[in-house]
Amino acid sequence: LADMASMGMVCDAMIHGIRLLLSNLKCTMATASPMPSRVPSTKPSRVEESVTQT
């Protein structure tokens, strides 16, 4: 898992430049986020208008 995290940091450095990576250390996560407690509904009863407008 640590290898994946360091690989992500390397990819960020290659894409955005090492200077950006060093100036904004919050661009990569040190630890994984927890799993969601519930699964989102596949058929929501309501959809925000901003989602459907293009």
pLDDT, tens digit, 9 for 90 and up, residues 23-36: 555 555 667 777 77
Domain ranges within the chain, ordered by starting residue: 1-30
pLDDT, tens digit, 9 for 90 and up, residues 1-54: 444 444 455 565 566 555 554 555 555 566 777 777 777 777 777 777 765 555
Write down the pLDDT at residue 4: 45
CA 17 centroid distance within chain: 18
Q: pTM value? A: 0.18
Write down the pLDDT at residue 2: 44
DSSP string of 1-54, one letter each residue: -HHHHHHHHHHHHHHH-HHHHHH-GGGS-SSPPPPPSSPPPSS-S---HHHH--
CA atoms within 13 A on the CB side of 20: 11
Rounded to whole angstroms, the Cα distance separating 10 from 17 reads 10
